[in-house]
Structure 1
Amino acid sequence: MDRLVLRSHIALLIAMLLWGSSFIALKVAVTELAPMVVVFIRMAIGATAFLVMWPWLRHGINYQAGDWKLLMGMALFEPCLYFMFEAQALQYTSAGQAGMVTSMLPLMVAVTAFFFLGERSSLRQWIGFFIAVSGVIWMTVTGEDSAQAPNAALGNFLEFLAMCMAVGYTLLVKHLISRYSAFVLTALQSFVGTLFFLPLALLSDWPAHISISTLGILLYLGLVVTLGAYGLYNYSMSYVKATTAAGYSNLLPVFSLIFSMLLLGERLVMSQWIAIAIVSIGVGLSQERKPKVSKKMPPAVTG
């Protein structure tokens, strides 16, 4: 496997680990702050960090006429609409169940990438996708009721709508990554997200004070997850297919359940551990054996 492709797969794995932890962090944060306040502060922290880093990022831009429409569409899909749905979803469902819903993303991306990007998935990849989804469904039906999910059906539906936004985001990033560095795209997301969520945050209820623990969670979401996870994911899109990158999202329910168990006290039964193993096998099968790297796609600027 090409070294750059290998780095991309490692970047995707780390991104999924960070995103898996973000479900728990966001779930805890919205218990103290209004969802739109949490997302606004998260975006503002990320945008501030990118302003500091801008001298190293501004060279990764190759603007072409009409790109502003694609760039705004990308930012509208994610973080704007994506976080609107996800932040609301975590008020009604558990972090573990929200993570499970993300299993739909690879199949949704595979279908849309077929029509819009002309990407083809092998039979082995499709089998891997379905095995991974089957494992996630198993985790879902064998899970126990939780007080953290007062209206799981509504919450899971909102998370599904968030996944629809993620599909549009993934396809646009794949189209734009050949002209813009991964971190430039991530910075744009933070700037647009801050402006988008500012009025929504101002219309929300603000607490008299924010606890130190919640402040730490916000810093983690704004710096580590926003910069780290999105930056790594966008970087990987330079070297792997959109469907390959989306295939890694099947690991999100695994990581979110493990973090929920370790940090929120949720418990897994033996059948769920078996389901986690099945998901891992499915993700492995869904990856290409010999990924092809387009020579037209330059390596992304990493700061």
Structure 2
Amino acid sequence: MSYRMILAALAVVHIVWGGGFIVLKVVQEHLALEHILLGRVILASLLYLLLWKRIPSPCYRKGDWKVLLLLALCEPFLLFTFETLGLRYTSASQGGMIVACVPLTVALGAFAVYREKIGRRCLAGIVCAVCGVVVVSALATAGDQAPAPLLGNFFIFCAVLASTCYALSVKHLCARYHYMYLAGVQVFGATVLFVPGALMQPLPPAHVLFSPQVAGSLLYLGLGITFLVYFVINYALTRIKAAVVIQFANLIPVSTLVFAYIFLGERLSPTQYAGVGLVLAGVLLAGASGSGELNTGKTQGEAHAQKACAAEGAAGD
């Protein structure tokens, strides 16, 4: 796939991701939280189950199971739980804005865990975006779409932290594990974790579950986001620089605001829109400019890891 095609695919899936907040608001009127969460992952799990034999085997190292468990726990289990719970109490517009801070929290986490340097530009962007989120949340008022916005925004921020932990876990594993293998572990693990809660809730009537609105929403969330979005993003991370991929997160809050305005009639105050501007400016400021070159070869980390795996395999023969 060419560089331009990868960029186009990233733009499409991030717009789809932003629309997911509106779909969640709609489907929550018909299904219990536990059923929504299971529905988001079970369809993707079936697809990965069909593809599993085609996915390259990993180079497992002692203790990796802990990081793999953390991976599945953080995203999508905790991410989807906090995200869905948060949208019960806050508007899709505000939720989308807070999620836009994920690249910034990842930068801070990478500095804390891996000692990756944060430039002045990135630091200024982080401060700017945090100020914007504070403005949007602090001035939020209760309404039909946001009965308890401060509580909802807190849950959404917890989802951001879960996503950050996921990104740091992937960074630790990606040199030795294929991106589809990691994605499969995520959805399989989340399915197992979501099943008990779903079984404790009474099943909705068949006419509700298979209604066009509910069935379409679950297909959108399960196939459109849980499968397609992660598939494209993980693939892009193997082909182009991560700094370029991260830039497309800017489309999430923008598309969420547009869709929420059109389909839900959500409105923010002028001051909150100013806060939205601060968030977008902060994310843009923090983002590094990327190269237009494809990563056609293996990274040094991947090459080193594969050599180490080969050596371990030879030693075990």
TM-score bucket (shorter structure): 0.7 to 0.9
Taking the TM superposition and a 5 Å limit, the aligned residue runs for 1:138-177 are 138-140=135-137, 145-177=142-174
Counterpart secondary structure, 1:82:
helix
Taking the TM superposition and a 5 Å limit, the aligned residue runs for 1:120-269 are 120-140=117-137, 145-209=142-206, 210=209, 211-238=211-238, 239-241=240-242, 248-267=248-267
The structure richer in helix per residue is 2
1:89–1:155 CA contact under 8 A, matched in 2: yes
Shift of the 235–54 alpha-carbon distance from structure 1 to 2, 3 Å rule, reads: same
1:8–1:240 CA contact under 8 A, matched in 2: no
Distance apart, 1:167 and its partner CA: 1.4
- Amino acid in the other structure paired with 2:96: G
- Which 10-residue stretch deviates more, 31-40 or 258-267? 258-267
Distance apart, 1:136 and its partner CA: 4.5
2:137–2:153 CA contact under 8 A, matched in 1: no
- Amino acid in the other structure paired with 1:286: A
Counterpart secondary structure, 2:267:
coil
Distance apart, 1:137 and its partner CA: 4.5
Distance apart, 1:297 and its partner CA: 5.2
Taking the TM superposition and a 5 Å limit, the aligned residue runs for 1:86-125 are 86-125=83-122
Distance apart, 1:262 and its partner CA: 1.6
- Amino acid in the other structure paired with 2:98: V
Q: 1:21 aligns with which of 19, 22, 41?
A: 19
Deviation track 1:40-90 (CA, whole Å, cap 9, x = no partner) reads 02211111111222233x226333332222111100111112222222222
Q: Distance in 1 between matches of 2:38 and 2:230?
A: 17
Distance apart, 1:131 and its partner CA: 3.3
Q: 1:37 aligns with which of 6, 18, 35?
A: 35
Q: Distance in 1 between matches of 2:181 and 2:263?
A: 33
Is 2:95 the counterpart of 1:69? no
Q: Distance in 1 between matches of 2:67 and 2:49?
A: 22
Q: Distance in 1 between matches of 2:123 and 2:255?
A: 22
Counterpart secondary structure, 1:178:
coil
Q: Distance in 1 between matches of 2:85 and 2:275?
A: 27
- Amino acid in the other structure paired with 2:259: F
Q: Distance in 2 between matches of 1:136 and 1:259?
A: 20
Is 2:288 the counterpart of 1:288? yes
- Amino acid in the other structure paired with 1:295: T
1:177–1:237 CA contact under 8 A, matched in 2: no
Distance apart, 1:219 and its partner CA: 0.7
- Which 10-residue stretch deviates more, 24-33 or 247-256? 247-256
Deviation track 1:118-157 (CA, whole Å, cap 9, x = no partner) reads 2112111222333344445555566665311111122121
Q: Distance in 2 between matches of 1:245 and 1:187?
A: 21
Q: Distance in 1 between matches of 2:278 and 2:124?
A: 12
CA RMSD for the aligned pairs? 3.0
Q: Distance in 2 between matches of 1:143 and 1:7?
A: 39
2:34–2:194 CA contact under 8 A, matched in 1: yes
Shift of the 134–154 alpha-carbon distance from structure 1 to 2, 3 Å rule, reads: closer
Counterpart secondary structure, 2:115:
coil
Shift of the 236–176 alpha-carbon distance from structure 1 to 2, 3 Å rule, reads: farther
2:142–2:148 CA contact under 8 A, matched in 1: no
2:145–2:266 CA contact under 8 A, matched in 1: no
- Which 10-residue stretch deviates more, 248-257 or 86-95? 248-257
Q: Structure 2, unaligned stretches of length 5 or more? A: 304-317
Taking the TM superposition and a 5 Å limit, the aligned residue runs for 1:273-284 are 276=276, 278-284=278-284
Distance apart, 1:10 and its partner CA: 5.5
Shift of the 284–100 alpha-carbon distance from structure 1 to 2, 3 Å rule, reads: closer
Shift of the 277–160 alpha-carbon distance from structure 1 to 2, 3 Å rule, reads: closer
Counterpart secondary structure, 1:107:
helix
2:100–2:283 CA contact under 8 A, matched in 1: no
- Amino acid in the other structure paired with 1:226: T
